[in-house]
Structure 1
Amino acid sequence: MTATRPRIGDEHLRALLVTRHLLTPATRAATPEQVVDALLALHATDPASVYLSAAARMATPSAAELERALYTDRSLARMLCMRRTMFVVPRALAPVVDASTARAVAARERTGLLKVLAEQLGHDADWLARTEAAVLAALAERGEASATQLADAVPRLKEVIVVAPGKPYEARPRITSRVLSVLAAEGRIRRGRPLGSWASSQFRWMPAEPHPELPVDLARAELAAAYLAAFGPATTADLKWWTGWTLTDTRKALARIDTVDVDLSRGPAHALPAQLAAPAAPEPAAALLPSLDPTPMGWIQRDWYLDPAHVPELFDNNGNIGPTLWWDGRIVGGWTQRPDGEIVTALLTGSDPGRDARRAIEAESARLAAFFGDLRVRPSMRTPLERRLSTGPGPGEETA
């Protein structure tokens, strides 16, 4: 007789999400390290998202605290890894992320750069190796340097390539960023403090600290377990998408860890044993999460916290989510910061959660505005709802 698999409902999942992802005042963290530990990784493609994701979950939001963790204590590491995406991860997890995902990404980045150098500039791997050695020597001498300073120190970095030739968006950048990106992907250099505010996309570069090399299969299993601890119960498809692994590699990683097969509303899934018992229902709470926040980007199947009808409003054409408004474990709207600094929110059609929620949303908006201060930030990934809110509510939209 076949044993019946445990069934976990959507309310159970949302209670886990809200509690583990620190989306209530009672669960907020004291430090950015606690935030990253809870979420496994913060999306860092848009530099501001790192700070805003942490601020939404900290009892006392502080950009200076995150800078301490990133650049002084170096307890957090910025890496190009899962799905060729920039993330901030706990320093202790960096060897696992490197072996399980970043190493393969770095190999593809190097192959792509060598192809461009050969086809456009006639340079080979030896030329690139000499250029990289010069960059590393310049950083060792200076301690840190911007891309412009490194190009002055290593003139080879000033050579120009053509990107998207013949297209309306054809560009002719220097090879500087491509070379530095490969060195960073391989863990040989790392980004230091930004040039300007915490929302700046221009960074100084520094030599990277080496970390132990782990076997790939072991690292994948450890990352799968860490993912389930933060996002489980989850499906095989969720883990495959989040990591960027093949289906075969995903199944092998899951087979190496202690999971329980369960049924969710979206199909068969994997849970850690501790996740089978439903947590106590958390107090309903509001959260304003930034574009590319790790919570909405944690699963490929999102129907249990986002009405599919609203996906076109909240995501761009590349599948990147914009700023979202949360209430009681569901996405109920969006928000943006206008040029004058005002935080504007809007509820999605059919998503009005009531008077208490509106008060909580106003309080969170004020908390976020205080964190921004005089700084103005525009998401690098613009979505239809966010664009409309930047100038005013669209037809049929209601501000929260």
Structure 2
Amino acid sequence: MGITARGVGLLVAAVVLLGLGFRFAYPELTLLGAAAGAAVGYAALTAAWRPRLLVSRRADPDRVARGEPASMTLTVRNAGRLRSANLLAEDRCGSRAVPVPLLRLRPGRDSEVRYDVPTVRRGVVPVGPLRVTRRDPLGLVAVARPYGETAPVWVHPRIHPLTAVPTGAGRSLDGRVDGVPHGSITFNSLREYVVGDDLRRVHWRTSARVGELMVRENVDTSLPRLVVLLDNRAAAHPQRVDGVAESFESACEAAASVVTAAHRADLPVLMLLVGPELVEGGSAGDAGMPPLDRLAAAELSGEDDALQGVTTRLRQDRLGDTLIFLTGPGGRDGLGHVGALRGAYPSVLVGVFGAAEPTPAGTAGLVVVDAVDGAQFAAEWDGVRRW
């Protein structure tokens, strides 16, 4: 509960008038002071009334590409039984406030407001909660209360179509053999029989030994496994326009394009960020959130020395056979660490965004694509022939 400037003035006047009235025995001043105090008390009681409101919201859609339209529909229901609601309310949409008129909202009735959600920038736009301000008729006391939950709208990076995908490396039990465009089947493990499994895959010798049906689990080892490494270090993207690193935005678009193309081709893909990623105070992790949502929530990190640790992990774990490293002009200093991964990853491609000068040919023996934005990266990507 907050008292307005008018309320403070009236309360001070009440105290002064009551003090003077009692001190000098002026009943008129005492009466005026008592009236002023009663007005403040009445205002506090009136503003303290808490209306019963049920708030629901629906995003249409809740996930959208940057620049595409998105809207939020807010429904407020007066769940009270006796009094109509005449309130001042506003809904938070990112950094702006959207006025919500709640005038003469009778018991059991709804009020619906629909407004556009800004999608000009990539990110997670928090919408809500509804903030209702209750004032007394004299404007002496104002009480603001939140209603409803916060609903996020995920603004994904733009996706540029990619027609080419890496062919990968076919592997056998004896090791890596060659690059192949089509898959082959290799034994991976045994598991218990499940209704619907092909009986031709039953391993009868093991089934007889353990006393229940066991089937062979095969995997296609020749399909390429893509690893997308997005450089979100602040040092890699030093240039800012209105506080936004456009090279990082372009790198996010390139990452989204590669991930989407891999999913459409039914290829396994893993996306990693160089620096730590935080979502609403917690870690997003490597697999706990869809890749496009992680890209929407990705922010620049101040840990400029994180690249060496990530490349060490990639070398030890060997998470795939095709590595795509996406960075900005400041990230070219770390291409030596990425080039050292060529032994573990047969195909390594580097995308550099926003650099004033092209990357020198043959840097660390890598395939380097210099691009201004995500659209140019997509065009250059389709022209790569050496994976």
Asked if TM exceeds 0.5, the reply is: no
Higher relative contact order (CA 8 A, sep 6+): 1
What TM-score comes out, normalization by structure 1 length? 0.20
Higher-strand-fraction structure: 2
Higher helix share: 1
- TM-score, normalized by length of structure 2? 0.21
